[in-house]
Structure 1
Amino acid sequence: MGMPAEERLGLDIKRAEQELIAAKQIAVRPAGLTVPQYATLYVLAANPGISAAALARACLVTPQAMTVVLKNLDVRGLVKRTPHPWHRNVLETQLTDAGRIALEAADERAVRIEQAIADELTTEERDTLRSLLSRCGAAIERASTQL
């Protein structure tokens, strides 16, 4: 064991992530959504017509996971997928009116979680946290390329 448990930050980061996801799941459930579905609708609202591959990257999931999310949203009538006018093998994805209503209902509750985090920290602390998390991500990427 090359590093004592009390010096390892991975567990703290994972715990915070799991607490965030659990809270958001509770927040978006009344709108009939899961967190991945909510994230997908949120990104789609800002990027109408985005491809599934780009959507997967923006939502930090695999393309295979995004395919399942989009299929479920499509079946429920929350998104519509149409062939791209020039690239026939690419489907453009758009929110439907029902999708926008679900997103608004979910976001009204999910934003409370984000606001609680923001309220806990000063503006400077939020900026510092973002910087520290970015540095952690860069360190993880560097370390993983050396394995």
Structure 2
Amino acid sequence: MTRHDDDPVGPNALDRVTWALRRAELAVQTLKEQRLRPLGMAAAHYTLLISVHAEPGLTGAELARRLNVTPQAIASLVARLESRGQLERREHPRHRHVQELHLTDAGREALRAGDAVIADIERHIAESLGTDETARLRALLDQVNKAVRDA
């Protein structure tokens, strides 16, 4: 990268760890979208389904915070998955105006199918890196996560 005095970025900006993380994230996200599409599923659907599976009873607002998206985006996804019969809203036992999200049997089946696709992508990455490097990458990513939280 040629540097000029008026460059809007620092030297080697495209060699930064944060840029490498973003490129890897985009590559993985693109592959997920391609591989999930034949199932009629987007990566965002898989993410929502697995999040509700991991924590049944989450509200839309809680999901939005956890997934770092707007409540409107979650509401749209929830409506789409609910219309497919994969997700259902249930009244909160103590707060009638709050609705909890739960997977239906169809939602669990969709998640099962989607997770097989994601597991295959994971296997491909792990085979490419090897066992030791995969474990090292996971540990490094956990360290990055902690460093960012502590910043």
* Normalised TM-score (structure 2): 0.79
Q: Which has the larger radius of gyration?
A: 2
1:114 corresponds to 2:122: yes
User: Does the aligned pair in 2 maintain the 1:29–1:106 contact within 8 Å?
Assistant: no
Structure 2 distance, partners of 1:141, 1:99, is 32
Contact persistence 1:37–1:69 (CA under 8 A): yes
Match of 2:3 in 1: none
Give the match's secondary structure for 1:61: coil
Gaps of 5+ in 1: none
- Could you tell me which of 74, 80, 87 is aligned with 2:88? 80
**Which residue in the other structure is 2:58 paired with?**
50
The answer to whether residue 99 in structure 2 is matched with residue 91 in structure 1 is: yes
- Greater mean alpha carbon deviation, residues 126-135 or residues 92-101: 126-135
For 1:26-80, what per-residue CA distance to the aligned partner results, in whole angstroms no more than 9, with x for missing partners?
A: 2211221110111111122232222223323443433332222111111222101
Q: Say if 2:21 is the partner of 1:13.
A: yes
* Counterpart check, 1:30 vs 2:38: yes
Q: Which runs of 5+ in 2 are unaligned?
A: 1-8
Note if 1:132 corresponds to 2:121.
no
Residue pair 1:82, 1:92 contacting (<8 A) in 2 also: yes
Asked if 1:4 is matched to 2:17, the reply is no
- Cα gap change, 1:48 to 1:136, in 2 (>3 Å): closer
Q: TM-score, normalised by structure 1?
A: 0.81
Cα distance, 1:139 vs structure 2:
4.6
Please, which moves more after superposition, 132-141 or 73-82? 132-141
**Higher relative contact order (Cα pairs below 8 Å, separated by 6+ residues):** 1
Q: Can you list the C-alpha shifts for 1:97-132, whole angstroms capped at 9, x where unaligned?
A: 221222122222221001111222344323322232
User: Residues 11 and 115 of structure 1: is their aligned pair in 2 closer, same or farther, counting only changes over 3 Å?
Assistant: same
Q: Percent identity?
A: 40
Question: Please, which moves more after superposition, 60-69 or 9-18?
Answer: 60-69
Taking structure 1 as reference, are residues 139 and 115 closer, same or farther at Cα in structure 2, changes over 3 Å only? Answer: same
